[in-house]
Amino acid sequence: MTPADTDMLVRPYTHADRAPLLELLREVWPHKRDVAAHVEDRWWWRHAGPPLVVAEQREPRRLVGLCAYMPFTLVSRGTAHSAAWFVDFFVLPGCQGRGIGSRLTRAVQDRFAVTASLSQTEMAYRVFRKLEWHERMPVTIYMHPLPQRWMIRAPAGEYRVETSDVESAGGAAAALDNLWSRLQGSYPVMAQRTGADILARYASQGARRYQLLRCHTPRSCTGYMVVRPVQPMSDGAPPRDGLIVDYLVPPGEPAVFQALLREAVSLLLDAGVRRIYCLSTVPACRRVLARHGFLSPSTPVLGRRLRGNTKWLTFTAAAGSLPADPASWHLTLGDCDLDHVWHRP
Ligand SMILES: CC(C)(COP(=O)(O)OP(=O)(O)OC[C@H]1O[C@@H](n2cnc3c(N)ncnc32)[C@H](O)[C@@H]1OP(=O)(O)O)[C@@H](O)C(=O)NCCC(=O)NCCS
């Protein structure tokens, strides 16, 4: 160990770290007006043991680095793995390049079978690659710049879509469980989406209010979608962005996705949104989005300005536990914290 290593302790966050954590975050987020309020709004505090690892310098005693992660369950070929999304990750500029970022990363990845990141800076990616994470793959956020109610026709077939606030959807848990048990094997790698997972993940948080759309055939629930209009910072202004935060549909039945998308667009337009975003890795759903005017960075000419709508998936897994091809992951904005941090000018 070098003297720098012994002076630095990488350890889980404890409640006594609250004040030093705020001090660290004021340095890391100087552009945020009310850091304390921002911190209060993070998902960290929903866990009895906040999912945070800190780097503490002993002399003078202060926190110089942080890694926050979102624990979840990843299901691959019928096997459930403990997993974490790697999210907030920083080391104070004066302390960078001394291996602290690598130690924070190892402290998280050693606790889970799978650790993944869906959006990261070049600096973070360099740390991950040094620790032998998979080469990253692009993940596309589609965006409709001018959504209209008439643009999506009802698909042929007997599909009925029911909408409710997630809060009042408690009775839907059994139908969502049923859907999950039918579809979990349809995608090689996916976050667990039982009824309890969905209802807990999308319970309202701060200004974030989610609506749950369920698509039914005469026999059963065949898919769901979760949406939310993004409330703007200034009071009274209508929401500008609408998010299709999450969905689960049979991969071979794009009509189910289309039926849900039609209702989702209508609902978001009712809320006043002017642009709609949807992250999708499922080929059949991507085709439905593209066919209905949703743009991706690869859309000829128009897509050029959407470069920031490409996110990047990289992960590390205990040997042999996941398909090597990361393109087989079913991902949505609700995975990782892309939904939580959504803010656009
Ligand atoms: C990403 C970050 C947390 C990594 O922390 P770190 O303590 O610097 O990481 P390490 O010391 O383990 O460095 C990892 C590699 O990056 C290099 N590196 C890190 N910071 C560097 C810098 N400022 N300049 C040049 N190289 C740097 C290190 O030298 C090392 O590579 P090497 O061992 O091959 O030389 C830190 O750079 C950071 O806070 N960056 C700004 C915020 C950010 O981008 N966060 C990620 C959000 S996803």
pLDDT above 60: residue 118: yes
Bridge partners, residue 243, by sequence = 228, 277
For ligand 1, mutation pick of 7, 85, 96 (most atoms within 8 Å of CB) = 96
Q: Which residue has the tokens 């975050």?
A: 25
pLDDT above 70: residue 94: yes
Band of residue 5 on the pLDDT scale cut at 50, 70, 90: low
Shortest-distance Cα residue to atom 4 of ligand 1: 101
Residues with CB under 6 A from ligand 1: 89-91, 96-102, 120-121, 123-124, 126-127
Ligand 1 centroid distance, CA of 120 (Å): 12
Judge contact between 221 and 175, C-beta under 8 A: yes
Considering the domain architecture, whether residues 107 and 205 belong to the same structural domain is answered as no
Distance CA 205, CA 337 (A): 13
In a 13 Å sphere around the CA of 57, the CA atoms on its Cβ side amount to 18
Q: Tokens for 311, please give them.
A: 């996110």
Among the three residues 133, 158, 184, which one is the final residue of a domain in this structure?
A: 133
Shortest-distance Cα residue to atom 28 of ligand 1: 97
DSSP string, 200-211: HHTS-BTTB--E
Write down the pLDDT at residue 308. 82
Considering the domain architecture, whether residues 148 and 83 belong to the same structural domain is answered as no
pLDDT in tens, 314-325: 999 986 678 777
Residue 106 structural domain: 3-133
pLDDT above 70: residue 1: no
Shortest-distance Cα residue to atom 5 of ligand 1: 101
Considering the domain architecture, whether residues 59 and 182 belong to the same structural domain is answered as no
Pairing mode, strands 8-12 and 137-144: unpaired
pLDDT above 90: residue 265: yes
pLDDT above 50: residue 345: no
Considering the domain architecture, whether residues 280 and 166 belong to the same structural domain is answered as yes
pLDDT above 90: residue 222: yes
Considering the domain architecture, whether residues 9 and 101 belong to the same structural domain is answered as yes
pLDDT above 50: residue 179: yes
The answer to the question of residue 342 being in a domain is no
How do the residues of the chain divide into helix, strand and coil, expressed in percent and rounded to 5? 35, 30, 35
Crossing angle, helix 100-109 and helix 122-130, to 10 degrees?
A: 60
Among the three residues 133, 157, 172, which one is the final residue of a domain in this structure?
A: 133
Q: Which residue has the tokens 């039609």?
A: 262
Considering the domain architecture, whether residues 70 and 191 belong to the same structural domain is answered as no
Record the pTM. 0.92
Q: What percent of the chain has pLDDT over 70?
A: 96
Where does residue 177 rank: exposed (0-12), middle (13-18), buried (19+ CB within 10 A)?
Answer: middle
Distance CA 37, CA 40 (A): 5
Q: By three-state DSSP, how is residue 173 classified?
A: helix
Q: Residues 67-90: what's their mean pLDDT?
A: 94
Q: Which residue has the tokens 């439905």?
A: 288
CATH number at residue 36: 3.40.630.30
Considering the domain architecture, whether residues 116 and 146 belong to the same structural domain is answered as no
Shortest-distance Cα residue to atom 41 of ligand 1: 90
For ligand 1, mutation pick of 7, 63, 88, 91 (most atoms within 8 Å of CB) = 91
Count of structural domains, the chain: 2
